[in-house]
Structure 1
Protein backbone atom coordinates (compact mmCIF):
# COMPACT_ATOMS: atom_id res chain seq x y z
CA UNK A 1 0.00 0.00 0.00
CA UNK A 2 1.37 3.38 -1.00
CA UNK A 3 2.01 6.09 1.56
CA UNK A 4 -0.15 9.19 1.57
CA UNK A 5 2.38 11.99 1.41
CA UNK A 6 1.17 15.57 1.77
CA UNK A 7 4.30 17.31 3.01
CA UNK A 8 4.45 20.27 5.32
CA UNK A 9 5.71 23.21 3.28
CA UNK A 10 5.72 26.18 5.68
CA UNK A 11 7.75 26.73 8.85
CA UNK A 12 5.78 26.47 12.10
CA UNK A 13 7.65 27.75 15.16
CA UNK A 14 5.49 25.59 17.43
CA UNK A 15 6.66 22.41 15.67
CA UNK A 16 9.97 23.17 13.97
CA UNK A 17 13.44 24.22 15.08
CA UNK A 18 15.77 25.95 12.64
CA UNK A 19 19.08 24.11 12.19
CA UNK A 20 21.53 26.99 12.64
CA UNK A 21 24.53 24.98 11.41
CA UNK A 22 22.67 23.94 8.25
CA UNK A 23 21.54 27.54 7.80
CA UNK A 24 25.18 28.56 7.34
CA UNK A 25 25.65 25.80 4.76
CA UNK A 26 22.49 26.91 2.96
CA UNK A 27 24.15 30.29 2.38
CA UNK A 28 26.70 28.47 0.21
CA UNK A 29 24.10 26.68 -1.90
CA UNK A 30 22.25 27.82 -5.03
CA UNK A 31 21.07 31.41 -4.66
CA UNK A 32 17.36 30.85 -5.36
CA UNK A 33 16.75 29.21 -1.97
CA UNK A 34 16.81 32.34 0.18
CA UNK A 35 13.13 31.90 1.12
CA UNK A 36 13.73 28.42 2.61
CA UNK A 37 14.93 27.45 6.09
CA UNK A 38 16.61 24.19 7.19
CA UNK A 39 14.80 22.27 9.91
CA UNK A 40 16.61 20.38 12.64
CA UNK A 41 16.41 16.57 12.54
CA UNK A 42 18.29 13.90 14.45
CA UNK A 43 21.79 13.22 13.09
CA UNK A 44 21.99 9.47 13.62
CA UNK A 45 22.43 8.08 10.10
CA UNK A 46 18.67 8.01 9.52
CA UNK A 47 18.52 11.74 8.90
CA UNK A 48 17.14 11.45 5.36
CA UNK A 49 14.26 9.39 6.70
CA UNK A 50 13.86 11.70 9.70
CA UNK A 51 13.51 14.56 7.20
CA UNK A 52 10.69 12.75 5.39
CA UNK A 53 8.94 11.85 8.65
CA UNK A 54 9.09 15.49 9.76
CA UNK A 55 7.62 16.68 6.47
CA UNK A 56 5.00 13.92 6.53
CA UNK A 57 3.79 14.85 10.01
CA UNK A 58 2.34 11.35 10.44
CA UNK A 59 3.33 9.64 13.73
CA UNK A 60 2.32 6.26 12.30
CA UNK A 61 5.23 6.33 9.83
CA UNK A 62 8.71 5.60 11.18
CA UNK A 63 12.23 5.87 9.82
CA UNK A 64 12.49 2.07 9.91
CA UNK A 65 9.44 1.72 7.68
CA UNK A 66 10.85 4.21 5.18
CA UNK A 67 14.19 2.38 5.14
CA UNK A 68 12.45 -0.96 4.48
CA UNK A 69 10.30 0.57 1.74
CA UNK A 70 13.46 2.00 0.17
CA UNK A 71 15.14 -1.40 0.15
CA UNK A 72 12.08 -3.00 -1.46
CA UNK A 73 11.95 -0.28 -4.13
CA UNK A 74 15.65 -0.66 -4.98
CA UNK A 75 15.43 -4.45 -5.16
CA UNK A 76 12.24 -4.38 -7.24
CA UNK A 77 13.69 -1.96 -9.80
CA UNK A 78 17.35 -2.87 -9.39
CA UNK A 79 18.20 -2.76 -13.10
CA UNK A 80 16.79 0.74 -13.51
CA UNK A 81 18.77 2.16 -10.58
CA UNK A 82 21.93 0.33 -11.65
CA UNK A 83 21.74 1.81 -15.14
CA UNK A 84 20.95 5.31 -13.89
CA UNK A 85 23.27 5.80 -10.94
CA UNK A 86 25.97 3.12 -10.64
CA UNK A 87 28.45 5.20 -12.64
CA UNK A 88 28.15 7.91 -9.99
CA UNK A 89 27.89 6.00 -6.70
CA UNK A 90 28.89 2.41 -7.45
CA UNK A 91 26.93 -0.86 -7.85
CA UNK A 92 23.38 -0.83 -6.53
CA UNK A 93 23.69 -4.31 -4.99
CA UNK A 94 26.49 -3.04 -2.74
CA UNK A 95 24.34 -0.06 -1.79
CA UNK A 96 21.36 -2.27 -0.95
CA UNK A 97 23.47 -4.36 1.43
CA UNK A 98 24.55 -1.19 3.22
CA UNK A 99 21.02 0.21 3.43
CA UNK A 100 19.89 -2.99 5.17
CA UNK A 101 21.89 -1.89 8.20
CA UNK A 102 19.96 0.63 10.26
CA UNK A 103 21.58 4.04 10.83
CA UNK A 104 23.66 3.78 7.65
CA UNK A 105 24.05 7.17 5.98
CA UNK A 106 21.90 7.62 2.87
CA UNK A 107 22.94 8.78 -0.59
CA UNK A 108 21.65 9.18 -4.14
CA UNK A 109 20.04 5.75 -4.45
CA UNK A 110 17.81 6.44 -1.46
CA UNK A 111 16.80 9.88 -2.70
CA UNK A 112 15.87 8.49 -6.11
CA UNK A 113 13.94 5.58 -4.58
CA UNK A 114 12.00 7.87 -2.24
CA UNK A 115 10.69 9.77 -5.26
CA UNK A 116 8.77 6.62 -6.27
CA UNK A 117 7.78 5.68 -2.74
CA UNK A 118 6.35 9.12 -1.97
CA UNK A 119 5.20 9.96 -5.51
CA UNK A 120 7.12 13.17 -5.11
CA UNK A 121 9.72 15.34 -6.85
CA UNK A 122 12.76 15.77 -4.62
CA UNK A 123 15.10 18.67 -5.13
CA UNK A 124 18.50 17.71 -3.80
CA UNK A 125 20.57 20.71 -2.71
CA UNK A 126 24.31 20.62 -2.02
CA UNK A 127 26.39 23.52 -0.66
CA UNK A 128 29.17 24.65 -2.99
CA UNK A 129 32.00 23.71 -0.63
CA UNK A 130 35.16 22.04 -1.97
CA UNK A 131 33.10 21.52 -5.11
CA UNK A 132 34.19 18.80 -7.54
CA UNK A 133 32.61 17.72 -10.82
CA UNK A 134 31.04 14.54 -9.46
CA UNK A 135 29.17 16.62 -6.86
CA UNK A 136 27.06 18.25 -9.57
CA UNK A 137 24.73 15.25 -9.53
CA UNK A 138 23.97 15.93 -5.86
CA UNK A 139 22.44 19.29 -6.81
CA UNK A 140 19.49 18.16 -8.95
CA UNK A 141 15.78 17.53 -9.12
CA UNK A 142 14.87 13.83 -8.96
CA UNK A 143 11.48 12.65 -10.19
CA UNK A 144 9.47 9.41 -10.02
CA UNK A 145 9.76 6.74 -12.69
CA UNK A 146 6.88 6.54 -15.19
CA UNK A 147 4.00 5.78 -14.87
CA UNK A 148 4.18 7.28 -11.38
CA UNK A 149 3.25 10.96 -11.40
CA UNK A 150 4.53 13.32 -8.71
CA UNK A 151 1.84 15.06 -6.72
CA UNK A 152 4.10 17.23 -4.56
CA UNK A 153 7.57 18.75 -4.27
CA UNK A 154 10.07 18.77 -1.40
CA UNK A 155 13.62 20.04 -0.92
CA UNK A 156 16.37 18.13 0.93
CA UNK A 157 19.84 19.56 1.59
CA UNK A 158 23.14 17.73 2.08
CA UNK A 159 24.62 19.18 5.26
CA UNK A 160 26.93 18.30 8.14
CA UNK A 161 26.33 17.74 11.84
CA UNK A 162 29.27 20.04 12.61
CA UNK A 163 30.05 23.56 11.47
CA UNK A 164 32.51 23.82 8.61
CA UNK A 165 35.54 24.60 10.76
CA UNK A 166 35.01 21.64 13.11
CA UNK A 167 34.06 19.36 10.21
CA UNK A 168 37.34 20.14 8.46
CA UNK A 169 39.37 19.60 11.63
CA UNK A 170 37.77 16.17 11.99
CA UNK A 171 38.50 15.27 8.36
CA UNK A 172 42.09 16.36 7.68
CA UNK A 173 41.10 19.76 6.35
CA UNK A 174 38.50 18.60 3.83
CA UNK A 175 34.71 18.91 3.97
CA UNK A 176 32.07 16.44 2.83
CA UNK A 177 28.42 16.11 3.90
CA UNK A 178 27.31 13.61 6.54
CA UNK A 179 23.79 14.85 7.27
CA UNK A 180 20.49 15.67 5.55
CA UNK A 181 17.97 18.33 6.52
CA UNK A 182 14.62 19.30 4.99
CA UNK A 183 14.16 22.82 3.63
CA UNK A 184 10.75 24.44 3.93
CA UNK A 185 9.37 27.90 3.27
CA UNK A 186 9.89 30.53 5.94
CA UNK A 187 6.41 31.77 5.05
CA UNK A 188 7.73 34.96 3.49
CA UNK A 189 7.33 33.90 -0.13
CA UNK A 190 4.51 31.95 -1.72
CA UNK A 191 5.21 30.72 -5.26
CA UNK A 192 1.65 29.72 -6.19
CA UNK A 193 -1.29 31.84 -7.18
CA UNK A 194 -4.02 29.58 -5.85
CA UNK A 195 -2.98 29.44 -2.20
CA UNK A 196 -1.26 26.08 -2.47
CA UNK A 197 2.02 26.65 -0.63
CA UNK A 198 4.26 24.41 -2.68
CA UNK A 199 8.01 24.91 -2.69
CA UNK A 200 9.44 26.03 -6.02
CA UNK A 201 11.60 23.48 -7.82
CA UNK A 202 13.00 25.77 -10.49
CA UNK A 203 15.95 24.09 -12.19
CA UNK A 204 18.88 26.26 -13.16
CA UNK A 205 20.53 25.82 -16.59
CA UNK A 206 23.42 24.07 -14.88
CA UNK A 207 21.34 21.16 -13.57
CA UNK A 208 20.13 17.76 -14.70
CA UNK A 209 16.64 16.48 -14.13
CA UNK A 210 16.43 12.72 -13.74
CA UNK A 211 13.14 11.41 -15.11
CA UNK A 212 11.98 7.96 -16.20
CA UNK A 213 14.83 6.10 -17.95
CA UNK A 214 16.55 9.12 -19.47
CA UNK A 215 18.56 12.06 -18.31
CA UNK A 216 17.55 15.46 -19.59
CA UNK A 217 20.76 17.43 -19.86
CA UNK A 218 21.13 21.21 -20.11
CA UNK A 219 24.69 22.42 -20.61
CA UNK A 220 25.93 19.96 -18.01
CA UNK A 221 29.61 18.93 -17.83
CA UNK A 222 30.64 15.30 -17.78
CA UNK A 223 31.16 13.58 -14.45
CA UNK A 224 34.64 12.03 -14.71
CA UNK A 225 34.84 10.61 -11.25
CA UNK A 226 32.88 9.84 -8.13
CA UNK A 227 33.65 8.48 -4.69
CA UNK A 228 32.27 5.06 -3.87
CA UNK A 229 29.39 4.77 -1.50
CA UNK A 230 30.05 5.96 2.02
CA UNK A 231 29.12 3.14 4.36
CA UNK A 232 28.97 5.15 7.50
CA UNK A 233 26.74 6.72 10.10
CA UNK A 234 26.63 10.40 10.93
CA UNK A 235 28.45 11.85 13.88
CA UNK A 236 26.03 13.29 16.38
CA UNK A 237 27.24 16.66 17.61
CA UNK A 238 26.90 15.59 21.20
CA UNK A 239 29.22 12.64 20.70
CA UNK A 240 32.24 14.76 19.75
CA UNK A 241 33.14 15.68 23.30
CA UNK A 242 35.11 13.02 25.15
CA UNK A 243 33.31 11.81 28.26
CA UNK A 244 34.98 10.71 31.48
CA UNK A 245 34.66 7.03 32.30
CA UNK A 246 32.98 6.36 35.59
CA UNK A 247 34.67 3.54 37.48
CA UNK A 248 31.45 2.59 39.23
CA UNK A 249 29.30 2.44 36.10
CA UNK A 250 30.01 -0.52 33.83
CA UNK A 251 27.18 0.25 31.35
CA UNK A 252 28.39 3.84 31.03
CA UNK A 253 31.97 2.65 30.49
CA UNK A 254 30.82 0.39 27.66
CA UNK A 255 28.83 3.21 26.09
CA UNK A 256 31.81 5.56 26.23
CA UNK A 257 34.06 2.96 24.61
CA UNK A 258 31.52 2.41 21.87
CA UNK A 259 31.25 6.17 21.25
CA UNK A 260 35.03 6.50 20.94
CA UNK A 261 35.13 3.50 18.63
CA UNK A 262 32.45 5.01 16.38
CA UNK A 263 34.30 8.35 16.25
CA UNK A 264 37.54 6.60 15.29
CA UNK A 265 35.73 4.61 12.60
CA UNK A 266 34.17 7.81 11.28
CA UNK A 267 37.57 9.53 11.03
CA UNK A 268 39.05 6.47 9.29
CA UNK A 269 36.20 6.40 6.75
CA UNK A 270 36.50 10.14 6.12
CA UNK A 271 40.24 9.76 5.46
CA UNK A 272 39.53 6.90 3.06
CA UNK A 273 36.86 8.91 1.27
CA UNK A 274 39.18 11.92 0.99
CA UNK A 275 41.84 9.81 -0.69
CA UNK A 276 39.26 8.51 -3.18
CA UNK A 277 38.28 12.07 -4.09
CA UNK A 278 41.74 12.55 -5.60
CA UNK A 279 41.90 9.31 -7.55
CA UNK A 280 42.21 9.26 -11.32
CA UNK A 281 39.48 7.94 -13.61
CA UNK A 282 41.53 4.79 -14.23
CA UNK A 283 41.92 4.18 -10.49
CA UNK A 284 38.21 4.75 -10.00
CA UNK A 285 37.25 2.23 -12.70
CA UNK A 286 39.58 -0.37 -11.16
CA UNK A 287 38.04 0.18 -7.73
CA UNK A 288 34.47 -0.09 -9.01
CA UNK A 289 35.36 -3.27 -10.90
CA UNK A 290 36.71 -4.82 -7.70
CA UNK A 291 33.47 -3.94 -5.91
CA UNK A 292 31.48 -5.80 -8.58
CA UNK A 293 33.69 -8.87 -8.18
Structure 2
Protein backbone atom coordinates (compact mmCIF):
# COMPACT_ATOMS: atom_id res chain seq x y z
CA UNK A 1 0.00 0.00 0.00
CA UNK A 2 3.04 2.27 0.31
CA UNK A 3 2.51 5.69 -1.28
CA UNK A 4 4.74 7.92 0.85
CA UNK A 5 7.94 9.10 -0.80
CA UNK A 6 9.78 10.02 2.40
CA UNK A 7 9.89 9.35 6.14
CA UNK A 8 8.34 12.11 8.22
CA UNK A 9 7.93 10.88 11.79
CA UNK A 10 4.27 11.88 12.09
CA UNK A 11 2.56 10.13 15.02
CA UNK A 12 -0.65 10.13 17.01
CA UNK A 13 -4.15 10.69 15.63
CA UNK A 14 -4.73 12.80 12.53
CA UNK A 15 -8.11 13.91 11.19
CA UNK A 16 -8.34 14.40 7.42
CA UNK A 17 -11.37 16.10 5.87
CA UNK A 18 -12.06 15.27 2.25
CA UNK A 19 -9.96 12.18 2.88
CA UNK A 20 -11.88 9.76 0.65
CA UNK A 21 -10.48 11.01 -2.67
CA UNK A 22 -7.77 13.05 -4.34
CA UNK A 23 -5.12 14.77 -2.23
CA UNK A 24 -6.98 13.86 0.95
CA UNK A 25 -6.91 10.17 0.09
CA UNK A 26 -3.21 10.29 -0.77
CA UNK A 27 -2.58 11.97 2.59
CA UNK A 28 -4.54 9.27 4.42
CA UNK A 29 -2.54 6.51 2.73
CA UNK A 30 0.76 8.24 3.53
CA UNK A 31 -0.27 8.61 7.17
CA UNK A 32 -1.23 4.94 7.37
CA UNK A 33 2.22 4.06 6.04
CA UNK A 34 3.65 5.97 9.01
CA UNK A 35 1.51 4.01 11.47
CA UNK A 36 -0.73 6.94 12.30
CA UNK A 37 -4.36 6.48 13.35
CA UNK A 38 -6.53 8.41 10.90
CA UNK A 39 -10.10 9.68 11.08
CA UNK A 40 -11.58 10.58 7.70
CA UNK A 41 -14.42 13.08 7.36
CA UNK A 42 -15.98 13.28 3.91
CA UNK A 43 -19.38 14.31 2.57
CA UNK A 44 -19.34 11.72 -0.22
CA UNK A 45 -21.21 8.69 1.12
CA UNK A 46 -20.14 6.39 -1.73
CA UNK A 47 -16.49 7.43 -1.43
CA UNK A 48 -16.58 6.79 2.32
CA UNK A 49 -17.99 3.30 1.70
CA UNK A 50 -15.21 2.55 -0.80
CA UNK A 51 -12.63 3.84 1.65
CA UNK A 52 -13.95 1.64 4.45
CA UNK A 53 -13.70 -1.42 2.20
CA UNK A 54 -10.23 -0.52 0.94
CA UNK A 55 -8.79 0.24 4.38
CA UNK A 56 -10.49 -2.52 6.38
CA UNK A 57 -8.17 -3.68 9.15
CA UNK A 58 -6.26 -0.40 9.34
CA UNK A 59 -6.47 2.12 12.19
CA UNK A 60 -8.95 4.21 10.22
CA UNK A 61 -12.34 5.64 11.11
CA UNK A 62 -14.31 6.84 8.08
CA UNK A 63 -17.28 9.11 8.74
CA UNK A 64 -19.73 10.89 6.47
CA UNK A 65 -19.60 14.53 7.49
CA UNK A 66 -20.69 17.92 6.18
CA UNK A 67 -17.92 20.29 7.27
CA UNK A 68 -20.31 23.27 7.15
CA UNK A 69 -22.48 21.76 9.89
CA UNK A 70 -21.00 22.63 13.30
CA UNK A 71 -23.00 20.05 15.24
CA UNK A 72 -22.18 17.28 12.78
CA UNK A 73 -18.48 18.15 12.85
CA UNK A 74 -18.46 18.20 16.66
CA UNK A 75 -20.14 14.79 16.78
CA UNK A 76 -17.71 13.29 14.27
CA UNK A 77 -14.70 14.65 16.16
CA UNK A 78 -16.12 13.20 19.38
CA UNK A 79 -16.43 9.78 17.71
CA UNK A 80 -12.89 10.11 16.38
CA UNK A 81 -11.48 10.88 19.83
CA UNK A 82 -13.39 7.98 21.34
CA UNK A 83 -11.78 5.71 18.75
CA UNK A 84 -8.18 6.96 18.71
CA UNK A 85 -7.66 9.52 21.46
CA UNK A 86 -6.99 13.27 21.30
CA UNK A 87 -6.38 14.89 17.94
CA UNK A 88 -2.71 15.62 17.28
CA UNK A 89 -3.05 16.61 13.63
CA UNK A 90 -5.68 18.00 11.29
CA UNK A 91 -5.61 18.24 7.49
CA UNK A 92 -8.42 20.22 5.87
CA UNK A 93 -8.73 18.95 2.28
CA UNK A 94 -12.52 19.13 1.92
CA UNK A 95 -13.45 21.68 -0.72
CA UNK A 96 -15.47 22.33 -3.85
CA UNK A 97 -14.35 24.00 -7.06
CA UNK A 98 -16.12 26.13 -9.64
CA UNK A 99 -14.50 27.28 -12.89
CA UNK A 100 -16.93 30.01 -13.97
CA UNK A 101 -16.38 33.55 -15.30
CA UNK A 102 -17.18 36.17 -12.70
CA UNK A 103 -20.20 37.55 -14.58
CA UNK A 104 -21.73 34.07 -14.62
CA UNK A 105 -21.02 33.38 -10.94
CA UNK A 106 -24.21 33.86 -8.96
CA UNK A 107 -24.21 35.02 -5.35
CA UNK A 108 -25.54 31.57 -4.46
CA UNK A 109 -22.54 29.83 -6.04
CA UNK A 110 -20.15 32.32 -4.43
CA UNK A 111 -21.64 31.70 -0.98
CA UNK A 112 -21.61 27.91 -1.46
CA UNK A 113 -17.91 27.84 -2.35
CA UNK A 114 -16.92 30.08 0.55
CA UNK A 115 -19.12 28.11 2.95
CA UNK A 116 -17.43 24.79 2.20
CA UNK A 117 -13.86 25.90 1.53
CA UNK A 118 -13.42 28.68 4.07
CA UNK A 119 -16.13 28.44 6.71
CA UNK A 120 -15.96 24.63 6.71
CA UNK A 121 -12.20 24.69 7.31
CA UNK A 122 -12.67 27.15 10.17
CA UNK A 123 -15.39 25.02 11.77
CA UNK A 124 -13.19 21.92 11.75
CA UNK A 125 -10.18 23.87 13.06
CA UNK A 126 -12.20 25.07 16.05
CA UNK A 127 -13.57 21.58 16.70
CA UNK A 128 -10.06 20.09 16.56
CA UNK A 129 -8.80 22.70 19.02
CA UNK A 130 -11.39 21.51 21.52
CA UNK A 131 -10.31 17.89 21.03
CA UNK A 132 -6.53 18.34 20.90
CA UNK A 133 -3.93 16.70 23.10
CA UNK A 134 -0.81 18.50 24.36
CA UNK A 135 -0.06 19.84 20.88
CA UNK A 136 -1.81 20.13 17.53
CA UNK A 137 -0.54 20.62 13.99
CA UNK A 138 -3.07 21.89 11.45
CA UNK A 139 -2.51 21.95 7.70
CA UNK A 140 -5.16 23.72 5.64
CA UNK A 141 -5.30 23.26 1.88
CA UNK A 142 -5.38 26.44 -0.16
CA UNK A 143 -4.40 26.76 -3.84
CA UNK A 144 -2.23 28.80 -6.18
CA UNK A 145 -5.58 30.30 -7.20
CA UNK A 146 -5.69 31.82 -3.72
CA UNK A 147 -2.37 33.52 -4.46
CA UNK A 148 -2.78 34.40 -8.16
CA UNK A 149 -5.82 35.87 -9.92
CA UNK A 150 -6.56 32.97 -12.26
CA UNK A 151 -9.52 33.48 -14.59
CA UNK A 152 -12.64 31.51 -13.73
CA UNK A 153 -11.71 31.30 -10.06
CA UNK A 154 -13.47 34.31 -8.58
CA UNK A 155 -15.25 32.25 -5.91
CA UNK A 156 -12.68 29.47 -5.54
CA UNK A 157 -9.76 31.90 -5.47
CA UNK A 158 -11.46 34.14 -2.92
CA UNK A 159 -12.18 31.16 -0.69
CA UNK A 160 -8.59 29.92 -0.84
CA UNK A 161 -7.15 33.38 -0.23
CA UNK A 162 -9.41 33.44 2.81
CA UNK A 163 -8.05 30.07 3.95
CA UNK A 164 -4.53 31.51 3.87
CA UNK A 165 -5.40 34.57 5.95
CA UNK A 166 -7.56 32.56 8.34
CA UNK A 167 -4.71 30.10 8.88
CA UNK A 168 -2.21 32.86 9.60
CA UNK A 169 -4.54 34.48 12.13
CA UNK A 170 -5.06 31.12 13.85
CA UNK A 171 -1.29 30.55 13.86
CA UNK A 172 -0.91 33.90 15.58
CA UNK A 173 -3.68 33.39 18.12
CA UNK A 174 -3.17 29.71 18.94
CA UNK A 175 0.61 29.35 18.79
CA UNK A 176 1.07 29.91 22.52
CA UNK A 177 -1.33 27.01 23.15
CA UNK A 178 0.88 24.50 21.33
CA UNK A 179 -0.94 24.74 18.00
CA UNK A 180 0.84 25.19 14.68
CA UNK A 181 -1.28 26.19 11.68
CA UNK A 182 0.20 26.06 8.19
CA UNK A 183 -1.04 25.98 4.62
CA UNK A 184 -0.23 23.91 1.55
CA UNK A 185 -1.13 25.61 -1.73
CA UNK A 186 -1.11 23.12 -4.62
CA UNK A 187 -0.97 24.05 -8.27
CA UNK A 188 -2.38 21.79 -10.97
CA UNK A 189 -2.53 18.24 -9.59
CA UNK A 190 -3.85 15.09 -11.22
CA UNK A 191 -6.96 14.15 -9.25
CA UNK A 192 -10.32 12.64 -10.25
CA UNK A 193 -11.88 16.11 -9.95
CA UNK A 194 -9.20 17.74 -12.09
CA UNK A 195 -9.77 15.19 -14.81
CA UNK A 196 -13.42 16.25 -14.93
CA UNK A 197 -12.90 20.00 -14.63
CA UNK A 198 -9.84 20.58 -16.83
CA UNK A 199 -10.33 20.20 -20.57
CA UNK A 200 -7.38 19.20 -22.75
CA UNK A 201 -6.99 22.87 -23.69
CA UNK A 202 -6.84 23.85 -20.03
CA UNK A 203 -4.35 21.09 -19.28
CA UNK A 204 -2.08 22.37 -22.05
CA UNK A 205 -2.39 25.91 -20.70
CA UNK A 206 -1.59 24.95 -17.10
CA UNK A 207 1.28 22.71 -18.19
CA UNK A 208 2.74 25.44 -20.42
CA UNK A 209 2.78 27.82 -17.44
CA UNK A 210 4.40 25.27 -15.11
CA UNK A 211 8.22 25.17 -15.37
CA UNK A 212 8.34 21.46 -14.54
CA UNK A 213 6.05 20.90 -17.52
CA UNK A 214 3.56 18.55 -15.89
CA UNK A 215 0.74 18.23 -13.37
CA UNK A 216 1.65 17.27 -9.83
CA UNK A 217 0.92 13.92 -8.23
CA UNK A 218 -1.28 13.67 -5.19
CA UNK A 219 1.52 11.88 -3.33
CA UNK A 220 3.78 14.89 -3.86
CA UNK A 221 1.29 17.17 -2.16
CA UNK A 222 0.75 14.59 0.59
CA UNK A 223 4.47 14.60 1.34
CA UNK A 224 4.41 18.37 1.82
CA UNK A 225 1.44 17.97 4.16
CA UNK A 226 3.16 15.26 6.18
CA UNK A 227 6.28 17.40 6.50
CA UNK A 228 4.26 20.26 8.03
CA UNK A 229 2.53 17.82 10.38
CA UNK A 230 5.81 16.33 11.49
CA UNK A 231 8.33 17.21 14.25
CA UNK A 232 10.71 18.27 11.46
CA UNK A 233 8.49 21.34 11.02
CA UNK A 234 8.20 22.08 14.73
CA UNK A 235 9.24 25.75 14.34
CA UNK A 236 7.18 26.41 11.22
CA UNK A 237 3.94 28.26 11.93
CA UNK A 238 1.75 30.47 9.74
CA UNK A 239 3.62 29.43 6.61
CA UNK A 240 2.25 28.86 3.09
CA UNK A 241 4.07 26.03 1.31
CA UNK A 242 3.35 26.24 -2.41
CA UNK A 243 3.53 22.91 -4.25
CA UNK A 244 3.03 23.86 -7.89
CA UNK A 245 6.03 22.87 -10.01
CA UNK A 246 6.98 26.55 -10.25
CA UNK A 247 3.66 27.79 -11.66
CA UNK A 248 3.50 30.73 -9.27
CA UNK A 249 6.87 31.98 -10.50
CA UNK A 250 5.90 32.06 -14.16
CA UNK A 251 2.63 33.98 -14.45
CA UNK A 252 -1.10 33.59 -14.11
CA UNK A 253 -3.90 32.22 -16.22
CA UNK A 254 -5.27 35.28 -17.98
CA UNK A 255 -8.89 35.89 -18.97
CA UNK A 256 -10.24 34.03 -21.94
Judging by fraction of residues, say which structure has more strand. 2
Which entry has the higher C-alpha Rg, 1 or 2? 1
TM-score, structure 1 normalization: 0.28
TM-score, structure 2 normalization: 0.30
Judging by fraction of residues, say which structure has more helix. 2
